[in-house]
Amino acid sequence: MVDRRGSRFAFEVLFLVALAVGLTLAEVRALGIVGVMALGWVIVAALEWAAWRSQPHFGSGLPPRYYVPRVSLPPAQPLEQVNVGYPGSQRDEAPTWIASASLRAEVLGEWPAAGPEARPEPAVEAVEPDSAVIPVRLPEPPPEFRPVVLPPVRRGDGSPVARRGARHRRGLCAPGRATSAARPIDTVMRANVALRELALAAIALLAVVAALAVTQRTRGHTDTTPQPEGSYRTLAGSSGPAVFGRRTACGGVLRSDTVGVAHPTLPCGARIFVTYNGTTVLTQVVDRGPYEQGRQFDLTDALARRLGLRGVQTIEWSYARAR
């Protein structure tokens, strides 16, 4: 019989590892990873248990089957080849000669023949009862040598007799055969199955830890840069350095390094993308305005210098959508 325990264990390990990799790539939450991996371990443990139940041992609940150890047999030897058919006649003795009845009577004549031996029958003597024999009462044996009389046992009351019958009905032991030799074998097989299931549980736990670590690390390095949404064209200009030091409507102070835009309706802090002459900058609304006709956005001096914008020009802008 081919031993497939090693290949089955390798398949179960690969199943757990593949399950952990799939959960990592799917970006499942930590609780989902733990739950799915626990379910995977239950599946492989059930496979191990089912394979153990199918093995010939005394705890499987099947008809009695005896454990046969695996031994190394010698290599096969070729059989001796013999001729097919019956051997030919190779007789060196002379053929048998049988005398006729007249010749036997002439040669033997009145040869005496032994008859049946008469055996005398043995005489049977009548034995009269001896009235002189006096019965003697033997002493009582010691307590340790007295027979123990057990009370009658009913079936199904949990007594050893009932348990023995139940074990025979379940096929856990052969009738008339002690189970002391079977119990160590069954215990060893149970221990082997328990060790394999513990090993699979350890592998599943390591896979869960690795999947959680990779998932957390991947989420920690996720790019949170907003993406542009929509595209609009409008006129924009710059107020220049004349507004430095002025307090804005959004609660800030305009400085030479302030990067932002002024818009009449967009809320303060709203993030937008501004594109001019192939250069795109992510900025936010820092003030209300503009207060001059002919343009919709008023750029700060630092933002205008970064875009290379002078005067009033046409720009493209879009909303910044967070991931």
31 sits in which H/E element? helix 30-53
Domain co-membership, 205 together with 237? no
What confidence tens digit (pLDDT) does each residue in 262-282 have? Answer: 999 999 999 999 999 999 999
Q: What is the pLDDT of residue 223?
A: 59
The answer to the question of residue 139 being in a domain is: no
Q: Which positions ≥6 away from 90 have C-beta within 8 Å?
A: none
Q: What SS3 class is residue 236?
A: strand
Residue 177 confidence (pLDDT) above 70: no
Domain co-membership, 278 together with 239? yes
The residue ranking higher by pLDDT, 204 or 105, is 204
Domain co-membership, 249 together with 312? yes
280 sits in which H/E element? strand 279-287
The answer to the question of residue 316 being in a domain is: yes
Q: What is the pLDDT of residue 178?
A: 41
Q: How many domains does the chain have?
A: 2
Domain co-membership, 269 together with 308? yes
Domain co-membership, 260 together with 208? no
What confidence tens digit (pLDDT) does each residue in 76-104 have? Answer: 777 766 665 555 555 555 666 677 778 77
Going by C-alpha positions, the residue among 240, 258, 238 that lies closest to residue 250 is 258
Residue 171 confidence (pLDDT) above 60: no
Residue 57 identity: H
Q: Where are the alpha helices (DSSP H) in 82-159?
A: 101-108
The residue ranking higher by pLDDT, 298 or 108, is 298
What confidence tens digit (pLDDT) does each residue in 189-210 have? Answer: 677 778 888 888 888 888 888 8
The residue ranking higher by pLDDT, 178 or 261, is 261
What confidence tens digit (pLDDT) does each residue in 1-36 have? Answer: 455 677 888 888 888 888 888 888 887 888 888 888
What confidence tens digit (pLDDT) does each residue in 203-252 have? Answer: 888 888 888 888 877 766 555 778 899 999 999 999 888 889 999 999 99
Where in the sequence is the domain holding 30, given as residue range(s)? 5-66+180-218
* Greatest CA separation for the chain: 171
The answer to the question of residue 61 being in a domain is: yes
Going by C-alpha positions, the residue among 196, 170, 186, 194 that lies closest to residue 56 is 186
